[in-house]
Structure 1
Amino acid sequence: MDFLSGTRLLLRAIEPEDVSFVYCWENDPSAWGDGCALAPYSRYAIRTYIEESQRQDIFQSRQLRLMIVCQNDKSVAGMVDLFDFDPYHRRAAVGIYVDTRYRKQGMASEALELLCRYAFDFLHLHQLYAHVAERNAASLRLFESSGFERCGLLSQWICRDKGYEDVVILQRIAPI
């Protein structure tokens, strides 16, 4: 079974040619509040990250970033991540970013489902989880429609311009 190919998309390893995409997305200030970034990344830092990801597998780096690619024209539409990978407890956190040109086309749903299939059926993980800002209705809908369930709330977890914001914890357990 090809775990990384879907109807319209495929997930592939990050390549050196992806520096420009990752640089643009990681340095999008509108996305910083939803992730961990608080400052811009240099092209050098991103190149170094990509080079390191070529030398280490998920068991060494505890992270796997895959690029979301459209099958019809091979354009790069975004990226998905497994991070905070814990091989003992067989779980990982999930992150996803879809370029604005590809949003609202069902690509995030397909990419997330491919990532889940890979994580559960190939890596044999028991669970995946995500932290989503409570105001991020689109991401909450995405994860919930992909079989993730709300399992907790981190109160006042994210500092925003006008105070603090809660974060919803979502979890998907592998099918039996």
Structure 2
Amino acid sequence: MATLIGENIILRALEPEDLNFLFSTENNESFWEISNTQLPFSKYILKKYIENAHQDIYEAKQYRFVICNYNNNPVGMIDLFNFNPQHNRVGVGILLLPEYQNNGFGFEALKLIIEYAFMHLNVHQLFANITSDNLKSISLFEKFNFKQVGIKKDWIFSNSTYKDEILYQLIKP
């Protein structure tokens, strides 16, 4: 899969050199809520994941891009998941490290992935699942005209409390 190039970032495939970045990100408990993770990952498991990351999205039904600044430093990840070519839809999720938030990287990454999904995967729609308290993500997706189409009540149990999860869709214009 080709690298997607923006003005201030690039979206690229996982590389073996990303092992430590992936290890620290996937094992950061503050991110577990959005990734539905409950246990830490070993470096061995993540190394195997990176080795298989070359799989075509039509085969794996998902694809992870690393968001890098132009110094090729990883600043986050953006995932396409639950790809369904029969119904022409794919989910999208984004994670930016806190120190790289609020500088336009997320906006640019989402813009690139929307263009890629509509033009190259020929999907009819993208969807995102966002907890109702994740105001930064809600704001980001709404900037691209993702529309709230449903609320899953008490869907996520985190820190001894239930949270609603909002389903957003962007249908190809």
TM-score, length-scaled by structure 1: 0.93
Aligned to 2:58: 59
Contact kept in structure 2, 1:14 and 1:50, CA below 8 Å: yes
Aligned to 2:40: 40
Provide the aligned C-alpha RMSD in A: 1.3
CA distance in 1, matches of 2:100, 2:114: 20
CA distance in 1, matches of 2:159, 2:100: 28
SS at match of 1:33: helix
Identity of aligned residues (%): 38
Aligned to 2:125: 127
CA distance in 2, matches of 1:145, 1:119: 17
Contact kept in structure 1, 2:3 and 2:10, CA below 8 Å: no
Offset from partner CA, 1:116-135 (integer Å, 9 cap, x none): 11001111111110110111
TM-score, length-scaled by structure 2: 0.95
Runs of 4+ in 1 over 2 A off after TM superposition: 160-163
Shift of 1:136: 0.8
Aligned to 1:15: 15
Change (3 A) 1:4 1:57: same
Number of matched pairs: 172
Q: For residue 16 of structure 1, what is the amino acid of its counterpart?
A: P
Offset from partner CA, 1:48-89 (integer Å, 9 cap, x none): 1111112x2101111110111112x22111111001110111
Contact kept in structure 1, 2:3 and 2:13, CA below 8 Å: no
Contact kept in structure 1, 2:19 and 2:46, CA below 8 Å: yes
Q: Residues 105-124 of structure 1: matches in 2 within 5 Å?
A: 105-124=103-122
CA distance in 2, matches of 1:95, 1:166: 17
CA distance in 1, matches of 2:88, 2:137: 24
Gaps of 5+ in 1: none
Contact kept in structure 2, 1:63 and 1:84, CA below 8 Å: yes
Among candidates 165, 168, 173, match of residue 167 of structure 1:
165
Contact kept in structure 1, 2:76 and 2:96, CA below 8 Å: yes
